[in-house]
Structure 1
Amino acid sequence: MERRVVFKSESLTIEGLLHLPANVHEAPGVVICHPHPLYGGSMYNVVVELLCRSLEASGFVALRFNFRGVGMSEGSYGHGVGEVKDARAALGFLKSISSPKVTKLGIAGYSFGAYVAARAATEGPDVNGLALISPPFALYDFGFLRTVRGPKLIVMGDRDEFAGTLTEGLVRTIAGEAKISLIEGADHFWLGHEEEVCDEVTKFFEEVLKLKS
């Protein structure tokens, strides 16, 4: 089930869509951050939407939202700094909902959203799992990623044009202790590989966040 929600990031009203699994009283929660807002990124991105649906079907509460200045979210592009504040606010909002009660928290991001999610994960001890989809290593400095504690997943296509000339070994040097999944034939946009990347991320969160029955 999807429910439209709003929450505050500083003084700005941010819009989102909350995906709620059926017939549960408590569940892990995952925030998903969308690609770059200046290049058409929004919470309606296909990969973001499919990932939320995959997580919901697996028993997670999932929250996708529009960064400041996107869609009905107030404000304007925050050059990455404002978007990290939005992601932190989304984590706080997700933790605050009571039906179902959210237990452990994870955060995921796609492209620019991966950078934002990783930054947000460094700013509090509340993130129990971090998944980065197509992190644009060639465009942003991810050197801080080694300081992110807890389980980390990096999912990339072997034809990603924004990853630079990175080998798996170099990615591991940047990311530290992280699970790395390299998808053969996929580029930065995942056309034809959308379900594959969503399955990888969902399985990761099942391993690190899911309550055991």
Structure 2
Amino acid sequence: MVQKGQFLERATLVPVGREVMEGTWHRGTKAPPLLVIPPRPDEGGGMDHVIAAELVWAAANAGFPTLRFNHRGVGASQGQRGKDLALLEDAEAAMRMLMENTGASAAAVASFHGGSQVALALQAKYASVGGLCLVAPADIAPEVLSRVTCPLLVVQGEEDARLPRAKVSAAIVQAGGDLEVIDDAGPTFQRNLPQVGRAVAAWLRRLSGG
């Protein structure tokens, strides 16, 4: 039995064609639900990454349903590791399941590192992405951020120099989004990770109108 105040994700299976991906989800009463996209398989890691854990904990603690998953071929997910279109298909399947489970008409999407490529492709394809959060994005051109058409939040560590801060900031301003810079933190947020969670929870509350 889950006691009041406890955080307990439940294991789930996400169907993708004839295969299934492993995932975990947490119930909540607020909208929008949050989908967390893991790093690309060629980066290593998956849904158990500490950043993913922080994002779902913060969102669930604020009352929002969450789902995180492993791409096919990662962890216990079936299939072979894919690229580009295959990764987008994985994210599509996970978002579809999250929205069906919650009855939501839109979902917020968060990603980190190279998973930002997948999240941006998902947002460009689906109007049902009602908000996009990129944490320590990597391997993207800063100008693509200016084309995001939903509420956008980018979270970067102060010491993360992988993307030029000035160009990222200018693109976010053009998109009407927000940039949150975490003091004394690098791309892995070994310091001040809870600040990332607080920023994302506050962003979700703004999306919900709370």
Alignment partner, residue 136 of structure 2: 134
Is it true that 1:86 corresponds to 2:90 in the alignment? yes
Q: CA deviation at 1:142?
A: 5.0
SS at match of 1:134: strand
User: Which amino acid counterpart does residue 31 of structure 1 have in structure 2?
Assistant: L
CA separation of 1:159/1:30 partners in 2, compared to 1, >3 Å: closer, same or farther? same
Distance 2:162 2:142 in 1: 13
- 1:72 is displaced (CA, Å) by 1.2
Q: Deviations over 1:165-202 (max 9, x none)?
A: x133x113434322011112111100022111111111
1:46-77 Cα offsets, whole Å, 9 max, x none, are 11012101111111000000011111112222
- Give the CA deviation at 1:211: 5.6
TM-score norm. by structure 1 comes to: 0.86
SS of match in other structure, 1:97: helix
Partner residue of 1:120 out of 99, 115, 122: 122
* Amino acid of the structure 2 residue aligned with 1:162: R
Alpha-carbon distance in 1 for matches of 2:53, 2:169: 28
Instruction: Name the SS for the 1:74 alignment partner.
Output: coil
The one-letter amino acid paired with 2:109 is I
Computed over aligned residues only, the root mean square deviation of the Cα atoms, in angstroms, reads 1.9
C-alpha distance in 2 between matches for 1:75 and 1:144: 30
- Say yes or no: does 1:12 pair with 2:15: no
**Residue type of the partner of 2:197?**
C
For 2:180, what is the secondary structure of its paired residue? Answer: strand
The residue matched to 1:71 in structure 2 has which SS? coil
Give the share of equivalent positions with the same residue, in percent: 26
- Mind listing any 5+ residue stretches in structure 1 that lack a counterpart? none
* 1:54 counterpart (32, 53, 58): 58
Quote the residue 1:207 is aligned against. Answer: 206
- Structure 2, unaligned stretches of length 5 or more? 1-7
Deviating more after overlay: 74-83 vs 118-127? 74-83
Partner of 2:171: 174
State whether structure 2 residue 37 is matched by structure 1 residue 33: yes
Out of 60, 63, 69, the residue aligned to residue 67 of structure 2 is: 63
SS in 1 for 2:33: strand
TM-score by length of 2: 0.87
Match of 1:145 in 2: 145
Give the aligned partner of residue 113 of structure 2: 111
SS at match of 2:117: helix
Kindly indicate which of the two structures has a greater share of residues assigned to helix.
2
SS of aligned partner of 1:114 = helix
Shift of 1:103: 5.0
Superposition deviation, residue 161 in structure 1: 4.0
Q: How does 1:177-192 map to 2 (within 5 A)?
A: 177=175, 178-192=177-191
